[in-house]
Chains A and B, each alone.
Chain A
Amino acid sequence: MPRKFSLWEGFTIAVLAVIACVMLLPYVWMVLSSLKSNMDIVSGSGGFFPSKPSLDGYRTVFSEAPFVTWLLNSLVTSVIITVVTLFTSALAGYVFAKHQFKGKKLLFILILATMMIPFQVIMIPTYLITAELGLVNHLLAIILPNLVSSYGVFLAKQFIEEIPQELLEAARMDGSGEFRLMLRIVMPLILPMLSALGIFTFMNSWNNYLWPLIVLNDESKMTVPLALVYFNGTHQVNYNVVMSAAVLITIPVIIMFLIFQKQFIKGLAMTGMK
């Protein structure tokens, strides 16, 4: 292709720019709505812009919502889930890739098969089991069922199989135990895959809505997405309040994304994960 700035390319960029502006519109709407004063909303004269920008919404969020508790609930559960899932995936992946035992193939296929099962299919029994364990309305109910990932095991196995056997043998000759071998040799070698898995595990658990909706009903136990919806239900009229909460939740997510953007996109292309 000729390397000059063609009319066609200019046209493409212009169209993309217009669509990109449309994509950004909801963010602009969210921020502007959060700055509307209670007066603006009660009078119903609300235009696109707040008539007089105010922080009423933000003030109400901090005085009425246990905002920090929600963030902590989400943070604690998501971090634990991510760290443990990375470990269990690498461990199971290592065993399935580099060890032999009876029934290995069948077990691996069974684990893979669970990948095809939509959550709606298992949510009822999972709820009954959680209730049986006495964990309803407890943060452990969020953590416990999510400590293993069939997709994680599958990915880890694929990547660990690539590690040359000689490398492991050499370490074994030096007297390394299997756990040490996994931590010191296997895990560092599959680090790019683990970081992709980590990002998406964290994101899925941070954004999860359906499962917390089923097992959590106490406002102080809620994770961020569920709490936001609950809060929306109690502040239906003053949408500036809910928009303020939404802004507060979205900003850290966007900052995190801008920092880790490269890993995100690379990870998505590498694992095909959502």
Chain B
Amino acid sequence: MSTAISTNKADKVNPAVKSTAYRAKRRFIIISLVPILLLFGVFAFLPIAWSLGLSAFKYDPLSSNAIYVGAENYIRMFQDSIFLKSLWVTFKFVFIAVLINIVITLLIASAIQRVRIPWLKNGFRTVFFLPTIAPLAGTAIVWNTMFNYNDGLFNMILAKLNMAPIQWLSDPHYALYSIIMMTLWADIGYNIVLFIAGLDSIPDMYYEAATLEGAGRWHVFLHITLPLLRRTLLFVSITTVVSYFQAFPQFQIMTKGGPFNETRVLSLQIYEQAFSSSNMGYASAMATVFLMIILLVTLLQLRWGRTQWEH
């Protein structure tokens, strides 16, 4: 009992006060934590365990009978060409989108950071950040009309340039890139703001020293800015990778996985298996693999980030 409240100096004075104060604290802890833990339990801990369990069953919510199938769902997955395709598409999407995202946000952020007119700097930041606050579902709908074959904005521009129109969302060569373009528009604001904050925290004296020694812009960026930005870079790349793995509304609204499954990312595939095809057991097994992939990729990034750090 006394160890539990050893930080409380006042309690040492009077044993009577001590026990009432102790009981009051005790009651406070219980009253405040129980409802919160109940919510975490029901909507976080339980679903995680349930999801793992469900992946070993064949479960259709409509007939509501679960048949134990062991590892069958997992075995089925690696013979399922659509699943393998969606695995490939997911990696392709994440890799390309994250790479372009980080390169352009870093460039734009360092450009904005160098603007010395305050209202202009703020204005640029606002314009780039604005799309991030709108619901992605709404953005997807607006971009759908922009990608329209007959009267969309992009084909209008192509026509002005005397180029042939493109089936932006239904040509298998372009669909994924169209979605990447939309995703980048909707999302680069976050990373730009984070990079500007990171750049702002680099002391001016580093740059001054480098300029005195006659270093060029590119040299300064490569040998001073980038190394000092490593912490931000690691954080940004991890959060962007994790969030792009989970990207969902744009795929569900703009292409529904088509054409020829070229945009069927894993998160869409899990959703459709679970709620359109009612294969909840199989979908749970996919979700488990999905979780493992995300954890593994995050771990690799952290490890890679740490080795870069020490060197």
Contacts and interface: CB of A to CB of B under 8 A. Distances in A.
Are A and B co-members of a single complex? yes
B39 to A, nearest CB: 5
Interface stretch (B69-77, B78-86, B125-133): B125-133
B300 interface: no
B163 interface: no
B48 A114 contact: yes
Contacts of B260: none
Contact of A121 (B7, B21, B51, B193): B51
Interface residues of B, number: 100
B267 interface: yes
Interface string B76-120: 000000000000000000000000000000001001101110001
A220 interface: no
B218 interface: no
A177 B21 CA distance: 9
A189 interface: no
A30 B271 CA distance: 29
Interface centre among A12, A16, A107, A119 (most CB of B within 10 A): A16
A169 B8 contact: yes
Nearest to A270: B197
B32 A92 contact: yes
Interface stretch (A52-60, A61-69, A241-249): A241-249
B54 interface: yes
B43 A179 contact: no
B44 A117 contact: yes
B50 interface: yes
Interface in B1-41: 4-10, 21, 24-25, 28-29, 32-33, 35-37, 39-40
A111 interface: yes
A172 B17 CA distance: 12
Contacts of A123: 271, 274, 287
Interface in A250-268: 250, 253-254, 257-258, 261, 264-265, 268
A268 B190 contact: yes
A124 B274 contact: yes
A206 B295 CA distance: 27
A264 to B, nearest CB: 8
A106 interface: no
A234 interface: no
Nearest to B235: A272
Contacts of B120: 13
Contact of B298 (A19, A91, A116, A127): A116
Contacts of A121: 47-48, 51, 287-288, 290-291
Given A114-B44, A129-B42, A26 B137 contact: no
Nearest to A40: B151
Contacts of A134: none
B54 A100 contact: no
A214 interface: yes
A209 B137 CA distance: 7
Interface of B: 4-10, 21, 24-25, 28-29, 32-33, 35-37, 39-40, 42-48, 50-51, 54, 61, 108, 111-112, 114-116, 120, 123-131, 133-146, 148, 150-151, 153, 156, 185, 190, 193-194, 197, 207-208, 211, 217, 235, 239, 242-243, 245-246, 248-249, 252-253, 266-267, 270-271, 274-275, 280, 283-284, 287-288, 290-291, 294-295, 298
11 contacts: A20-B123, A29-B153, A99-B28, A116-B295, A119-B246, A125-B46, A128-B280, A147-B39, A148-B39, A232-B144, A254-B130
List of 7 A-B pairs having minimum Cβ-Cβ separation, nearest first: A125-B50, A122-B47, A125-B47, A178-B28, A225-B137, A225-B135, A207-B135
